[in-house]
Structure 1
C-alpha cells in the first residue's frame, strides 16, 4: 500500500507500507541516488516472516515531492520524525542504507531515538563520508565535488558510471538498467544537494547519543562508503554488532540479500 505524509506545507513524502497489521515494524531509509525500491529484495521476504516493512522516498527522490530546499541531514531527519508520528510508530526498527544510514543516525541524535527500539545501518555514510582532519577513512572531498559537477553536466552518464562502482558482483543488463532508472526518478538538483550534505556534514556527536541495540552490516569491497567507516561506527556506538559481507560492495541489500535478510530478522527477533 502506498500513500503520502505531509512533512511541510506543499512537501509530501511517499510511503510504501507492506503488512500493516504486524507490530514488528521496520522503517527503511534508502541511499543516494535511489528510492524505496532499493529494498525490493527485503520487501519480497520480510513481510512473509511477519514484519511490517515501511519504505519512504526521501524528499527529492522517487515519488516524493521535490522542493528546491531542505536537503540537510537535520531536515531529512525531521521528515522521518513526521512520518513516524503520522503513522503512530513506536518500538520500531529504523534501518538506513548509505546516506539513509547517515540520515537515521542524525535522527537518533536530533530526535533522541524517538520511537526507535533498534537501529540497523547498511553500508552507512557515517560518521563522515569524506576524509577529515583526524578521520582519514572516507572519500576525498574532491571526488564528491567531481560527482556534483557530473550531475549538472551529464547526470545519466554519472548514474551509469556510479552503477558500475556500486556493486561488487556482476550485474545482468536488465538489473543494471533497473538500478539506473531508480536514480533518474530523482530530480537533478536534489541529487546534487544530497551529495553536498554527504560532503559537508558530520555525525560524530550523533553516534555518541545512540543507546539502542545497533546492527552494522557492511560489504568488504565497498568503494563508496569505505569499510573503515563501519569499524568507526562499531567503535563509537555502544551495544553495536558489526557483520562483514564478504561478497558485497555497496549493494549488499542485493548482492547478499539472503544473508542481510537473515541477519536483520535475527537481530529484530
Structure 2
C-alpha cells in the first residue's frame, strides 16, 4: 500500500488513481479515504488524477498520540502534496475534511491550489461562543465525546441515522450505514476523541477570507450534523470567489440521489 511519511515521522496512507490535473479529496470524521471511492473513480474516469488520504489516526494511517488537530492535518496534506509534486490542485473536502482543505489552501496552498469544493463542511466555526452566539452549544460536542468513550461501536451505529438522514426518509441503505460504522471503527480512539475538538472548535474565518481561488460550497439543507445556517450560509459570505449550491432535503452523508446530484456538480466544477 502507498504511504508518505510526514516531517514528524507519521505514515499517511493514500490512494492515487488516474492521471491529469490532481483532484485531492479529504474525508470527514470518523471516516477515511474509502468514503470518496465513487468520486475518486469519477475523477479518474474523466481525465483527472484522483488522490485521497487517510487522515492521521484514521483508516490505514499511523495512529499517533499527538497531532490530532487542524493545523497538523493541514501540514500532513502539505506533506502529501510535496511528496507527490502536486500543483494546480483541485481540493474537495467533506465535513471535517472541508476544514482541512480550507486551512491547507490558506496556509500551504499559495500558487498550487486552483480551486476548492467543500461539502457539508465545518467552516467557519461550529461551536457556540460570545463571537458565534448562534453556533452549536459545547454540550452537544461533549455528548459526542461521551458517546465515543462509552461505547464507540454502538455510538457510530446510532449516529449513522442522523448522518444519512434515515430519520428524515432519505432511503439510504443499510449497507451505507454499515460502511459508516466499519470505517469509523478503523480509527483510533484517541483520534476519534481529539478530532471532535478539531472540527467543532477550530475557527476558519480568516482561512476563508484568505482564499483567492474559486470556491464551490455545497451542502444539504437537511444536514443534521453540520447545520447549514452555521456553515455554508456563513462561509459563502467570507470567500471572494464563492458559489453556493444547496441541495433540498439532503443530509450530511454523501449517498443516494444526493450523491448523484453532487457528483454532477463537482465534475462540472472541476472542468470549469
TM class by smaller structure: over 0.9
SS of equivalent residue, structure 1 residue 196: helix
SS of equivalent residue, structure 1 residue 235: coil
Quick check: 1:245–1:256 contact (8 Å CA) kept in 2?
yes
* CA gap 1:68/1:206 in 2 versus in 1, 3 angstroms: same
What are the superposed Cα offsets for residues 84-137 of structure 1, whole Å, 9 maximum, x if unpaired? 000000001011110110111111222254521101111101100222224244
After TM superposition, where is structure 1 displaced by more than 4 Å over at least 4 residues in a row?
none
SS of equivalent residue, structure 1 residue 236: coil
Give the count of matched residue pairs.
266
What are the superposed Cα offsets for residues 171-218 of structure 1, whole Å, 9 maximum, x if unpaired? 322221122101001011100000021233211111110110000110
SS of equivalent residue, structure 1 residue 94: strand
- Of 96, 116, 119, which residue of structure 1 is paired with 2:116? 119
**Counterparts of 2:256 and 2:41 in 1: how far apart (Å)?**
12
Match of 2:11 in 1: 12
**Counterparts of 1:15 and 1:116 in 2: how far apart (Å)?**
19
Match of 1:151 in 2: 148
**Counterparts of 1:247 and 1:48 in 2: how far apart (Å)?**
29
Quick check: 2:23–2:43 contact (8 Å CA) kept in 1?
no
Match of 1:47 in 2: 44
TM-score with structure 1 length normalisation? Answer: 0.94
Match of 2:232 in 1: 230
Match of 1:82 in 2: 79
* CA gap 1:86/1:253 in 2 versus in 1, 3 angstroms: farther
**Counterparts of 2:134 and 2:244 in 1: how far apart (Å)?**
17
TM-score with structure 2 length normalisation? Answer: 0.93
Quick check: 1:211–1:239 contact (8 Å CA) kept in 2?
yes
- Of 90, 104, 107, which residue of structure 1 is paired with 2:104? 107
> Aligned Cα RMSD in Å?
1.5
What are the superposed Cα offsets for residues 224-253 of structure 1, whole Å, 9 maximum, x if unpaired? 111111011111001100001113110135
**Counterparts of 1:192 and 1:253 in 2: how far apart (Å)?**
25
**Counterparts of 2:162 and 2:260 in 1: how far apart (Å)?**
22
* CA gap 1:255/1:8 in 2 versus in 1, 3 angstroms: farther
Match of 1:244 in 2: 246
